[in-house]
Amino acid sequence: MARLLGVSACGFYAWLERAPSKRACSDAEPLTRIRAIHAFSRDTYGMPRIHFELTEKGGHVGRKRVARLMRLARRCGVSRRRWISTIRCEPDARPAPDLVQRHFVADAPSRLWVADATYVPTAEAFLYLAGVPDVFSPG
């Protein structure tokens, strides 16, 4: 394995037995506090709120250090979704006429059909869903 990684065997074993660095030792305490605050927030707090909590409870920890430790611990906050408008209307466009006068009742099948479209946000893209039901329903 040492040959594959391009290091000497004695260097690898020296690395295994080496004590943690000063930086690793100084990061251990804030990292445990960050994990505790993140767990207490039900994994929702991000770097700004965790930094605020750490400074409120005493002790000085920099924002960039909190961000680095959160990356190291693979912790991230939950962000609000941005509202995405899917409708792009011309300002001077006329609205579509209401042909049924908001009277969604039919006496027999296949007399009045209505349509609706919506979108479902997914991780990859928006899925568009359209429905065209018959208003007449015996039940």
d(CA 135, CA 116): 12
Which range marks the domain in which residue 109 is found? Answer: 98-139
CB environment 27-44: b (16+ within 10 A), e (fewer): beebbebbeebbeeeeee
Residues 67 and 107 in one domain: no
pTM of the model: 0.52
Residue 89 inside a domain? The answer is no
Per-residue pLDDT in tens (0 to 9) along the chain, 139 residues: 888 888 898 988 898 899 999 999 999 999 999 999 999 999 999 999 999 999 998 878 999 999 999 999 999 998 877 777 767 778 888 888 888 888 888 888 888 888 888 888 888 888 889 998 888 876 5
Residue 123 inside a domain? The answer is yes
Distances in whole angstroms, Cα of residue 91 to Cα of each of 41, 94, 95, 97, 114 = 44, 9, 11, 17, 26
Residues 10 and 56 in one domain: yes
Residue 79 inside a domain? The answer is no
Domains in the chain, number: 2
Residues 50 and 9 in one domain: yes
